[in-house]
Amino acid sequence: MYAIVEIAGQQFKVENNKYIYTHRLDAEEGAELTFDKVLLIDNDGSVSVGKPTVAGAKISAKVMKHLRGEKIIVFKKKRRKGYKKTIGHRQELTKLMIENIVF
């Protein structure tokens, strides 16, 4: 059984007792969250597609920890001008454990 859910503006395929990484959410570590923007549910072959969301479907998740992603290096250069610039970036992430899919 899995579901497609929208969390923080992105769509994720979630399953029970699996971890996902999302953009940083405003919640404390250990907090219970509920998401109700469920777009699709597949329950052993019977698929329910929402218009735009599945009525009565909810995903409950627990915030495991807040962390930062891998460093991304951005390098800019203009040839023959002597211009070089290196910028680094690390995305703020939240690790969620999906506890239950209810529909």
pLDDT band at 103 (very low <50, low <70, confident <90, very high): confident
User: Does residue 98 carry a pLDDT above 90?
Assistant: yes
Burial of 98 (0-12, 13-18, 19+ CB in 10 A): buried
Q: Which is nearest to 59 in space by CA: 89, 16, 90, 28? A: 16
Q: What does the pLDDT read at residue 34?
A: 96
In tens, the pLDDT along 41-90 reads 999 889 999 999 999 999 999 999 999 999 999 999 999 999 999 999 99
Q: What does the pLDDT read at residue 13?
A: 97
Q: Is the pTM of this model over 0.85?
A: no
Q: What does the pLDDT read at residue 76?
A: 97
In tens, the pLDDT along 19-52 reads 999 999 999 999 999 999 999 999 988 999 999 9
To which residue do tokens 């969250």 refer? 33
Structure tokens at 36: 């109700």
